[in-house]
C-alpha cells in the first residue's frame, strides 16, 4: 500500500522545484527573492493547525497549477493585447480627456526625483506585477491553507484578468509619458513603433495597482504584524511607482483600487460558500487518507 510518509522527501523536492520555477519565469533577481524570504518570516503565526503530511499533496497540486497559469498566461496576454489592437473598435478614447484633467498626470509626485528614488521605483514597478501576487501565494502555501491560497489567487489574479479585459476592450487610454510626449522613465527598449504602441495601452484601470491593492487588502487579515507591514510598504510602493514613473493617471490608480476591492470581496464570498468548504475539506483530506495507509 502507498505510504505518504515515505514520499515526503520527494514531495518537498517537487515543491522546491516548483518554487524555483516560479522565480525563473520572469528572472527574479536577488532583491525579489530577498523580499519573498522576508515575507515568510513569522509564517507560523498564521499557520493552519494541520500536519504537512495532511496538507502537502493538495498544496503542491494547487501550487503547481498556479505556476503553470503564471508561466503560460503571460504570452497569451500579449497575444490578446496584439489582437485587440488590430481588431477592437474602442467605445471610449480618453487620452486627451485624461490629459486635460488638472493634477491627473500626478506631476506633484515628481517634484523631488533623486536618482536612488527613481531606481527604487523602477525596480518596484518592473517586479511588482508578479512579485506582490506570488509573495501572497507562496506564504499562504507555508501557512498550510489551501483556502487561503484560493482567495489570494482569485482576488489577486484569476478574477481580475477576465474582468479587466472588459475595460481594456472598451477604453483606449495610454501611459502618461507617451500621451505627453516625454521620455519613458523606465527607459524600456521597444522592438518597433508597433511594440511601443501596444505596450503603453490598457491603462484604465491600473492592473499594477489592482493586483498590489488586492494583496494589501488580503494581507491585512493576517496575524503577523511583520508581514502586514512588509506587504503594506511594498504594495503601497507599487501603487506610488505607477504615478511617479508617469505610467498611470491618478484616475487609473483610483479605479484600480476600486476594481481590486470588488475582486477581493467576490473572492472572499466564493471561498466562504459551503460548496468551496466541501471542496477544501476533501482536497486537504487527500494527505490524511494516505497517512492512514500502512505498508
pLDDT score of 292: 60
Which grid coordinates belong to 208? Answer: 499594477
In angstroms, rounded to a whole number, what is the distance separating the alpha carbons of residues 126 and 22? 16
pLDDT score of 294: 47
Looking at the chain, the whole-number percentage of residues with pLDDT higher than 90 is 63
- Sign of the four-CA dihedral 162, 71, 119, 176: negative
At residue 268 the predicted structure's pLDDT band, cuts being 50, 70 and 90, is very high
Please return the burial class of 162, using the count of CB atoms within 10 Å of its CB with bins 0-12, 13-18 and 19+. exposed
pLDDT for residue 144 is more than 80: yes
At residue 23 the predicted structure's pLDDT band, cuts being 50, 70 and 90, is very high
Q: What is the mean pLDDT of the chain?
A: 89
Query: By the 8 A CB rule, do 63 and 18 touch?
Result: yes
Amino acid at each position: 500500500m502507498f505510504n505518504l510518509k515515505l514520499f515526503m522527501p520527494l514531495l518537498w523536492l517537487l515543491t522546491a522545484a516548483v518554487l524555483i520555477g516560479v522565480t525563473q519565469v520572469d528572472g527574479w533577481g536577488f532583491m525579489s527573492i530577498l523580499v519573498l524570504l522576508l515575507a515568510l518570516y513569522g509564517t507560523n503565526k498564521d499557520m493552519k493547525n494541520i500536519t504537512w503530511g495532511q496538507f502537502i499533496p493538495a498544496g503542491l497540486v494547487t501550487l503547481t497549477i498556479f505556476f503553470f497559469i503564471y508561466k503560460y498566461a503571460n504570452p497569451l496576454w500579449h497575444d490578446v493585447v496584439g489582437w485587440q489592437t488590430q481588431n477592437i473598435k474602442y467605445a471610449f478614447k480618453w487620452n486627451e480627456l485624461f490629459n486635460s484633467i488638472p493634477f491627473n498626470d500626478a506631476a506633484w509626485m515628481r517634484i523631488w526625483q533623486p536618482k536612488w528614488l527613481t531606481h527604487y521605483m523602477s525596480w518596484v514597478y518592473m517586479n511588482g506585477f508578479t512579485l506582490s501576487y506570488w509573495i501572497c501565494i507562496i506564504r499562504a502555501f507555508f501557512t498550510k491553507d489551501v483556502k487561503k491560497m484560493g482567495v489570494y489567487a482569485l482576488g489577486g489574479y484569476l478574477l481580475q484578468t477576465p474582468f479587466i479585459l472588459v475595460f481594456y476592450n472598451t477604453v483606449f487610454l495610454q501611459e502618461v509619458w507617451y500621451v505627453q510626449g516625454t521620455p519613458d522613465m523606465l527607459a524600456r527598449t521597444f522592438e518597433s513603433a508597433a511594440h511601443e504602441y501596444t505596450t503603453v495601452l490598457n491603462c484604465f484601470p491600473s492592473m499594477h495597482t489592482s493586483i498590489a491593492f488586492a494583496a494589501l487588502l488580503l494581507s491585512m487579515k493576517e496575524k503577523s504584524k511583520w508581514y502586514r507591514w512588509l506587504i503594506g510598504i511594498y504594495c503601497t510602493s507599487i501603487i506610488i511607482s505607477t504615478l511617479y514613473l508617469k505610467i498611470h493617471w491618478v484616475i487609473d490608480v483610483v479605479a484600480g483600487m476600486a476594481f481590486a476591492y470588488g475582486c477581493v470581496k467576490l473572492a472572499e464570498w466564493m471561498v466562504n460558500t459551503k460548496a468551496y468548504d466541501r471542496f477544501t475539506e476533501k482536497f486537504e483530506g487527500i494527505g490524511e487518507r494516505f497517512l492512514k495507509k500502512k505498508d
